[in-house]
Structure 1
Amino acid sequence: MSLINPNWNDLKIFLEVARCGTLGGAARRIRCDQSTISRHINRLEEAINAPVFERDNQGLHITARGQALLEYVEAMEANVVALGELLGGSHKEPSGTVRVGTMEGIASMYLAGEFVAFSQRFPKISVELVTTTQQMHVNQREADVFLSFFPPEGKSLDVVPIGQFPLHLFASPDYLAKHGAPQELTDLLDHQFASYVDDLIQLDTVRWLEEVIARPKISFQSSSMIAQLFASVAGAGIVMLPSFAKAERFGLVRVLDAHVRVNRTIWMTVHRDLQYLPRIKAVTRHLQDTISRDFPLP
């Protein structure tokens, strides 16, 4: 049986095309023309004697053979990165860029401030805090670390729970003075709420208000948790917010605190092949220490 030995440059370009989903996207990312990208893909397919992409009017779709190849190429890439950092010297201070992906609320209202101390401790590590309304795929290198309120699924992932936060109902004093403070959960039927736009919700884990009241009267809707908070501050109605939002600093007060028991677990996802790199390990350790300090698991 003859040995198949594909060119490494072809494999790297295949990896970028698989991640971008288009030749044009890959060309922009690695700054070359589409014809060059196409030649590399064609040469790879000739080398393995099988197509790695199917092409139709909607674009490129990775084949089963391509998907199997992708897993090996990702592992090769991770090992090359790890080797480069090892040869750089483990005695050196951790350096490089780490992209952390998570939801807007926890990023803006909690993690952004917590990374200030991290940057002072590790000045050579550049943290990119990316917000998203959906899952970021660590195994496709959309992020190095992903924090979510659900455990993502996928191959070659290390997924661990690192904390659990409660959620509370809040309202402004002006709203409560005008509409009265609810004393029982059934009283919520007579109140107005700020919440998410239902058909724009991409992660069911943020449907936390539904765990308290089935059909709330919505007076303000936004895909942004921060917008909901400030609408409630202005008197739009009651809003359900995670404790990490620290809504009290904006003048909101808790409502029915003894009656509401809603929690979410924070899950951290890292690619197994990268989790022990010094820069990645520094960030994940900081996240684990910070979140477990403020929102420990039960």
Structure 2
Amino acid sequence: MQTSRPSADDLLVLLEVARSGRFSRAAETLGVNQVTVSRRIAALEHAVGGKLLVRSASGWELTDLGRRALAAAEQVDGVLQKLESGSEVGTEIEDVVRLSAPDGFTTFVAAPAAAHLHQNHPGISVEIVSATRRAAQHRSGLDIEIVVGEPRVMRARALRLGGYVLGLYATPDYLARNGSPAGADDLARHRLIYFISSMLQVDDLDVGRRHLPEMRDAVTSTNVFAHIEATRAGGGIGLLPTFMITPDRGLVRLLPDEVSVEMSYWLVAREDTLRRPAVAAMVRQLMHTMQGMGTVLSPTADPVV
């Protein structure tokens, strides 16, 4: 049962915990210690009459009541930002956007998008985590997740950003030593460079291997840039994202008509998170960056925000 009126200060503490997923990170951002953060959360839970946060392996997660309290916290934060800006409509956004994405997307899309966003909105900073995994059912400390393949998520929105293609590549030296495959049936005598099957968390990426059932592994890694460098070093034939292979890498595309595996990037975020101006701006910038790569990526034509 609610016993007192929630404090606006306590709501802002909850907002930082929800954004970072950690009491320690929230304390650092707010300039207080963890004990103060814990005490503030406890006071807010007492005021609203229920648990706002539950601990998970990835950090603190919001309960249903916590999500309702977070909506109020975001409104308080928005009002304060308008007051600080000195106008009814704030001219500058001050916020941190935290994003996770696979290595290739991080390097070719997310990083340049974040840089351009910061140029246009100096008050927005973007934190990028490289991760190739399924979309989390409970997202803690992240505003945006980029995943490969259409995700199945609850209490979140999934938006298709665009597609890309996996193709086979090798160096001219490798082909001179081992011969160039004449067709898909000829690939069995070559070794594959790709992801580690036992550690692959993304089902759609495993589809690439299913196109090459006869190929044994040469070099495997959880990092796509390791695939590229192992292929450039002549370790085998790499199954690589075509948009990452520029002419200076010295690789030759093999059997493009027979092995061309279509993949897609999806963005996952909570509806309330997408309403934050900084997050909405980042999503728009991601789309703009992908559209600028139209020759190597196929962005969706539908607006996402």
TM-score, reference length from structure 1: 0.78
Equivalent in the alignment of 1:176: 175
Q: Of residues 288, 296, 299 in structure 2, which corresponds to 1:296?
A: 299
Distance 1:9 1:296, change over 3 A: closer
Question: Equivalent residue for 2:141?
Answer: 142
Aligned length: 292
2:271 maps to amino acid: R
Q: Secondary structure at the match of 2:180?
A: coil
Call closer, same or farther: CA 1:296–1:124 in 2, change over 3 Å.
same
**Segment drifting more, 11-20 vs 96-105:** 11-20
Q: What CA distance in whole angstroms lies between the structure 1 residues aligned with 2:27 and 2:241?
A: 41
Query: Structure 2 matches for 1:250-269, cutoff 5 A?
Result: 250-269=249-268
Unaligned runs of 5+ in 2: none
Report matched runs for 1:1-298 at 5 Å.
5-10=5-10, 32-33=32-33, 35-40=35-40, 42-44=42-44, 46-47=46-47, 67-87=63-83, 88=85, 89=87, 90=89, 92-135=91-134, 140=139, 142-152=141-151, 153-155=153-155, 157-293=156-292, 294=294, 295-297=298-300
The Cα offsets for residues 176-231 of structure 1, whole Å up to 9 and x where unpaired, read as 11111112111111101111122222222322432311253111121111011000
TM-score under structure 2 length normalisation: 0.77
Aligned-partner residue type, residue 205 of structure 2:
V
Q: Quick one: distance in 1 between partners of 2:53 and 2:95?
A: 33
Distance change >3 Å, CA 114–CA 177, structure 1 → 2: farther
- CA gap of 1:85–1:209, structure 2 versus 1, over 3 A, is same
Instruction: Call closer, same or farther: CA 1:15–1:110 in 2, change over 3 Å.
Output: closer
| Worse-matched range after superposition: 71-80 or 174-183 | 71-80
Task: Give the CA deviation at 1:275.
Answer: 2.9
CA change 1:137–1:6 in 2 (3 A) is farther
Matched position secondary structure for 1:99: strand
1:41 Cα deviation after fit: 5.0
Partner Cα distance (2:95, 2:19) in 1: 21
CA distances 1:85-111 after superposition (whole Å, capped 9, x unpaired): 444343624454333321112212444
Percent of aligned positions that are identical:
28
Q: CA–CA distance in 2 between the matches of 1:271 and 1:256?
A: 41
8 Å CA contact 1:15–1:70 kept in 2: the answer is no
* C-alpha contact (below 8 Å) 2:245/2:251 kept by paired residues: no
Unaligned runs of 5+ in 1: none
Contact 2:147 2:265 in 1 (8 A): yes
Contact 1:138 1:269 in 2 (8 A): no
**CA RMSD in angstroms, aligned pairs only:** 3.7
